[in-house]
Amino acid sequence: MPLTEQEKLERKRSRLIEKAREYQLGTYARKFVASVYQQMIRAESAAMPYGDALAVVNGELAWITREVGQCVCVTCGKVLPWKNSNATHGKLDTGHFIPSRRMSVLFAEKNAHPQCSHCNQQLGGNQGCYELWMRHVYGQETIARLRRRKNQTVQCTREELVDMRIEYQGRLNRAIEKMGADHAC
């Protein structure tokens, strides 16, 4: 008898958990969960309908027009394709406002956004501009909450990490589908 969808998902999950046993939890989180999470952040941003996105340009808030499939660097306003960006036109990263790699903030909601590699890497996250953007978009409370989380210890089990990976992969796939559909019309 063929497997039901549910059974297929369960099997896939078991296989991923089995594979995850080969790694330390922290290594697995950074290597396999964070990479999907970061792609998901860019894809979901790029899947937004055509329109203006808020960014900080030369230290001031500005609205930047972008198309479906493109992201705007939150701290300089550069417009880049969510995928296949290259060295000539700049590369798109996912920049964390609180740059710690601790699990408490690595996957924290509202802590990661599209950022060009220049701002993210060369400018060390372009902190002053990032904070201005965060304050305007989410407010001081969210900034304070994220800063508190930085010092908290969050332990995830292997199963939780695998479930996060599956969830993020699902959201990534849906965002890619959405972009495809929007491009088609």
Is the Cβ of residue 69 or residue 114 nearer to Zn ion in the bound state?
114
Return the CA Rg of the chain. Answer: 18
153 C-beta neighbours (distance < 10 Å), count:
7
Residue 116 lies near Zn ion (rule: CB under 5 A): yes
Site string for Zn ion, 17-56 (x = CB under 5 A): ----------------------------------------
Shortest spacing between CB 127 and Zn ion, in angstroms: 12
* CA pair distance 133, 121, nearest whole angstrom: 18
Residue 123 lies near Zn ion (rule: CB under 5 A): no
Among 29, 72, 76, 112, binds Zn ion (CB under 5 A): 76
**Could you give the C-alpha distances from 184 to 75, 178, 179, 181, in angstroms and in order?**
31, 10, 9, 5
- Residue 33 one-letter amino acid: V
Q: Name which of 185, 167, 175 is nearest 71 in CA terms.
A: 175
Q: Is the dihedral of CA 31, 108, 180, 65 positive or negative?
A: negative
Shortest spacing between CB 55 and Zn ion, in angstroms: 8
* CA pair distance 138, 10, nearest whole angstrom: 37
Is the Cβ of residue 62 or residue 181 nearer to Zn ion in the bound state?
62
Residue 119 lies near Zn ion (rule: CB under 5 A): yes
Residue 73 lies near Zn ion (rule: CB under 5 A): yes
Shortest spacing between CB 146 and Zn ion, in angstroms: 20
Would you tell me which residues interact with Zn ion (CB under 5 A)?
A: 73, 76, 78, 116, 119
